[in-house]
Amino acid sequence: MNKKTRKILIIYTGGTIGMMHSHRSGTLIPFDFGSIMDQIPELKLLNCKIDFFAFKNAIDSSNVQPDFWIELASVIEKKYNAYDGFVILHGTDTMAYTASALSFMLENLSKPVIFTGSQLPLGAIRTDARRNLITTIQLAANEISIPEVCIYFSDQLFRGNRAEKYTSSKFDAFESYNYPVLAETGVHIVLNKDAILKKPLKKLLVHKKFDTNIALIKIYPGIRVDVIERILSTEKLKALVLETFGSGNAPTGKTFIDVLQRAIKQGVLIVNVSQCSGGAVEQGKYETSIHLKEIGVVSGGDITTEAALAKLMFLFGQSSNLKEIKKLFQTDLRGEMSKVN
C-alpha cells in the first residue's frame, strides 16, 4: 500500500536561510523558492507535495513585533485545512519568541508547525541551511504527527516554547535545558514520543490579541532601585518579568522590596524567572527569595524568559482579570513549564 502523500506549506518570513550568494555580484540575494525542487533536488525523494508562501515584505527577525505574530498565525489559520504540516523559515535572533507566541496563539493545534533557519545562507560553503530545511520538511511530513509548535536546528527538534538561542556562532544555535528534545536526527530520525504533546480532539482556535504593556528587568549587582522604580511606574504597565539570580534569588534590601511591593499593590503582576538557562525558580528555597514570595511575586518555575514574555502578552491580550491571569500564568497551557514550586 502506498503511503499517503503529505502536503506541506513552507512559509518564508525572512532570515538568513532565505538568502543565497550571487556568484555574479558576490552579494546576498533572495533565494528563489519557486524553483526549490530544482535547486534542492533531494526534496523530490520525500513523499510530500510542497507549496510555498512568502511574506510580501521579508522581515529581519530583529524587527519582529506582535503584529507579525498575528499575521503569521493568520496565514496558518487560513491554510490550515489544506496542509498536513507547516515549515516556517525565520531569522534565528527572535525565533524562540515567535515560536513561544505561536504556541499560545494556536490552541488545539493538531498538526506540526516547525520553525527553522540557518547560521549561513543557502549556497554558502558549509551552509547549515540545506540540511535544516530538508530535515524540517521531512519532520513536518512525518507519518507520526507532531502536534505542536517546534524549532528544528542542527539535528534536534525542540518544543518551541522551551527553546532558546544560546550561541550566535555555532550551527547548533538552540538548546532546551529544561525539557527533552522531541526528536533527534542522525542516520535515522528518532522521535521522543513520550515528550510530544498528545493530539487534541477539539477544533483549532486561533487567538490574535496581545498586550505589550510588559517590561523585563535583569537583576545585577549594583542595580539602582530608582531605575526599577521608574520602569514600574511606566504608564499602563501590566506586568514585569524579573530575571533573578539562580533559583529565584534577589537583593533583600528594604528599598528594593518596597518598590516591588508598591507596584504589586497597584496591580502590576511581577513574575520571577531565573537568569540561568537550566533549572527553575524555587521561591523560599533560600532566604534571598523568601521576601519576594511574601510580597506576592509569582514564581515562573522553569519557564524561559522568551516564553514568559510571550505568555504574559498573550494572557493580558485575552483578559483584564488579574486574578485569572495570575492563575493561568502558573498553569501549564502548551507544555511551556513544569509544575511551579
Q: Is the pLDDT of residue 235 over 70?
A: yes
Percent of the chain with pLDDT over 70: 94
Encode the chain in three state secondary structure: CCCCCEEEEEEECCCHHHEEECCCCCCEEECCHHHHHHHCHHHHHCCEEEEEEECCCCCCHHHCCHHHHHHHHHHHHHHHHHCCEEEEECCCCCHHHHHHHHHHHEECCCCCEEEECCCCCECCCCCCHHHHHHHHHHHHCCCCCCCCEEEEECCEEEEHHHCEECCCCCCCCEECCCCCCCEEECCCEEECHHHCCCCCCCCCEECCCCCCCEEEEECCCCCCHHHHHHHHCCCCCCEEEEEEECCCECCCCHHHHHHHHHHHHCCCEEEEEECCCCCCCCCCCCHHHHHHHHHCCEECCCCCHHHHHHHHHHHHHHCCCHHHHHHHHCCCCCCCCCCCC
What pLDDT does 28 receive?
67
So what CATH class is 214-329?
alpha beta
* 27: annotated active-site residue: no
Among the listed residues 16, 116, 135, 185, the single catalytic one is 16
Residue type at 249 in one-letter notation: N
Instruction: Tell me how far apart the 2 most distant CA atoms of the chain are, in Å.
Output: 72
Q: Is the pLDDT of residue 36 over 80?
A: no
Domain assignments of the chain as residue spans, ordered by start: 6-206, 214-329
For the chain, what is the mean pLDDT?
A: 93
The CB-side HSE value for 108 (13 A sphere, CA atoms) comes to 9
| Cell triple for 128 | 547549515
So what CATH class is 6-206?
alpha beta
Give per-residue pLDDT as tens, 44-75. 888 899 999 999 888 889 999 999 999 999 99
Give per-residue pLDDT as tens, 129-143. 889 999 999 999 998
Closest Cα to residue 102, out of 86, 83, 118?
A: 86
Q: Is the pLDDT of residue 1 over 50?
A: no
Instruction: Please determine whether the domains at 6-206 and 214-329 fall in the same fold group of CATH.
Output: yes
| Cell triple for 227 | 531605575
Contact (Cβ atoms closer than 8 angstroms) between residue 328 and residue 315: yes
pTM: 0.94
What pLDDT does 121 receive?
82
Q: Is the pLDDT of residue 2 over 60?
A: no
What pLDDT does 122 receive?
77
Give per-residue pLDDT as tens, 176-225. 999 999 999 999 999 999 999 999 999 999 999 999 999 999 999 999 99
**Mean pLDDT in residue range 230-240:** 97
